[in-house]
Structure 1
């Protein structure tokens, strides 16, 4: 059995002993996006944020799940991480397989393509589209989705640093009467990320956008639901790093029954969240406001 493991260099903590153990077991291991000159800073900062698992070319997994103890409730600060992940059987898996093999080559690894990589796959009943991005097009896709909304938008994301264009599009949607709900974690897992989001909240709250902060662990899911007619689940956060720097992969789903179930799941998460009011927002302590100014300066890299 051939096993390939591709990880982001800054997103994992594997010892030499573990990597030697992998090699001894016959596992092919590589770090994505090796740093290179003369654009050292750029290549170090350009991260592979995709989370993909493909089994026998027939079953694929895509979503927000990483491989880590936090998903077993072993995070001492947050407890369990709340996340969304998809299992795809049949048609569509070949797109995940192709993307992984492209990333494998980008990591300067070789492979010999075999017929087993792309076995015949049955057509499924759920209409979906696999959307890989590498620093472009994702922002435009999200803007188009928001423009299509006629009644409601639900956004679940661990990080909300959308930038000016997406923020303005959400405000336009709110002004035309779209019911918008934004679900975020109450606590942040990275410095300044929470503070970078807060400057975006005031205009949203003034336009009637509902902002909820999840407190039952850490909310790490990335999901957008439009009119309960389509949804997006994938690896991309609602932030500038995912839009302009990271390599991401999302799945757009156009199936009413599936979307309804996803909406019900987010509704359940919202019921376990605290609603941020404008009054509470205005009472932020001076220290937090100071951190927000610093976070805004570096928000593109958070």
Structure 2
């Protein structure tokens, strides 16, 4: 007769062993699932680095001379070429009589970096109070000795390692991505330009100089950041308040450690108001769901929405993640212009010939929720007109990506885009 089935229940020991096996298997699957996009991302970056060495982004590109606009008593000057900007910044430092506040995300130890370092040394030698902020992580490749200034210079090194780095918490690991110069409380600069030889002539970027009362906007931003992050060895900077309110020109400052993110709201509000056109120039364009929907809604109501980005940037992974938005954007009527032959690093937008922004923030998760950033919001027809001319100039060095061209990309490219999607929270 056949043996009867054993009616006894499975032992607790066996059940525990089975669950341990299931747990180990689940961990292996999770590890593999997490490793695949990381390995793919590394492969993309290595491949693009090799490609970048063979085909460097060093083509010449159109630029415009510095152009000034009066905004309620403040002269706003737009710069589109690094060499012009650096000359103006160094001239301002050379003529400083009282104070110099300089904050830079990247400060290269090359010839251009040395020019700024010497200007700082000369300023303190003639009695000017100089305060410098730089991001340690962004300058890891720069010798630490480069940032040895005369002892009279007050230097704040934003730390390379922050608490949220190991847990990938962007709000507690983001960088000081701002680029600010304020001289004598009267002249101030802000925009996308870091300090370095390459940026002087090989990158297309945009910076704005303010001369007059609105320079307070950038001075106040520097003072607040300094006092927030200074150590006991650093002096406290006095917040003097604003003698003049200028609602047509305001600074929006992201402070992630304090959960303050006005720049994202600035974009959303302006895009929602658009009735004619939206022109956006971005180095790294990875909009979140709300900004993406705002752009699509604007296009759906007949607004001419154009986004100008580098065809190939200096951060290949950002390029791949940005392309994950292209299908929806193109299908929804948003026009994508690809800047050719050089790196466009500007962070600007202008809407309906009235509203504009120039600053340091990219439209991506890292800038809008992780980094310390600053953008000027300007409501002025004159500056908007100038930025529209700059946008058309950049379009002359771009080609339009069509929906038909995009849908015909290779199946392998589409697969790579899907594999890399999990890396999006990092950017």
TM-score range for the pair, normalised by the shorter chain length: 0.7 to 0.9
Alignment partner, residue 156 of structure 2: 30
Decide whether the 8 Å contact of 1:51 with 1:66 is kept in 2: yes
Going from structure 1 to structure 2, the CA distance change for 1:37 and 1:46 (only over 3 Å counts) comes to closer
Alignment partner, residue 346 of structure 2: 221
Alignment partner, residue 138 of structure 2: 11
Describe the superposition over 1:214-269 as per-residue Cα deviations: whole angstroms up to 9, x where unpaired.
11410100111111111111111111111111111111111111210110111110
Question: 1:56 and 2:180 equivalent?
Answer: no
Secondary structure at the aligned position of 1:111 is classed as coil
Describe the superposition over 1:142-175 as per-residue Cα deviations: whole angstroms up to 9, x where unpaired.
1111110011101100111111111111111111
Structure 1 runs of 4+ with >6 Å offset: 119-124
Which of 275, 280, 291 does residue 405 from structure 2 map onto?
Answer: 280
Describe the superposition over 1:51-80 as per-residue Cα deviations: whole angstroms up to 9, x where unpaired.
10111121100111111222133xxxxxx1
Which of 90, 95, 107 does residue 217 from structure 2 map onto?
Answer: 95
Using the size of structure 1 for normalisation, the TM-score is 0.88
Which of 283, 292, 298 does residue 173 from structure 1 map onto?
Answer: 298
Question: 1:290 and 2:411 equivalent?
Answer: no
Secondary structure at the aligned position of 2:213 is classed as coil
Describe the superposition over 1:93-112 as per-residue Cα deviations: whole angstroms up to 9, x where unpaired.
22211211222233324224
Query: Whose RCO is larger (CA < 8 A, sep 6+)?
Result: 1
1:140: how far off?
2.1
Going from structure 1 to structure 2, the CA distance change for 1:16 and 1:10 (only over 3 Å counts) comes to closer
Decide whether the 8 Å contact of 2:216 with 2:242 is kept in 1: no
Secondary structure at the aligned position of 2:329 is classed as helix
Using the size of structure 2 for normalisation, the TM-score is 0.63
Moved more, 244-253 or 132-141: 132-141
Question: 1:132 and 2:253 equivalent?
Answer: yes
Partners of 1:38 and 1:301 in 2: how far apart? 12
Partners of 1:11 and 1:264 in 2: how far apart? 32
1:7: how far off?
0.9
1:206: how far off?
1.2
Alignment partner, residue 337 of structure 2: 212
Secondary structure at the aligned position of 1:238 is classed as coil
Partners of 1:247 and 1:264 in 2: how far apart? 29
- The alignment of Structure 1 onto Structure 2 pairs a total of residues equal to 291
Gaps of 5+ in 2: 1-127
CA RMSD of aligned residues (A): 2.4
Partners of 2:420 and 2:164 in 1: how far apart? 28
1:134-153 matches, cutoff 5 A: 134-135=255-256, 136-153=261-278
Partners of 1:194 and 1:188 in 2: how far apart? 7
Moved more, 1-10 or 158-167: 1-10
1:156-171 matches, cutoff 5 A: 156-171=281-296
Question: 1:238 and 2:238 equivalent?
Answer: no
Secondary structure at the aligned position of 1:159 is classed as coil
1:121: how far off?
7.6
1:272: how far off?
0.8
Gaps of 5+ in 1: 74-79
Q: Which has the higher helix share?
A: 2
Partners of 1:217 and 1:38 in 2: how far apart? 34
Decide whether the 8 Å contact of 1:49 with 1:246 is kept in 2: yes
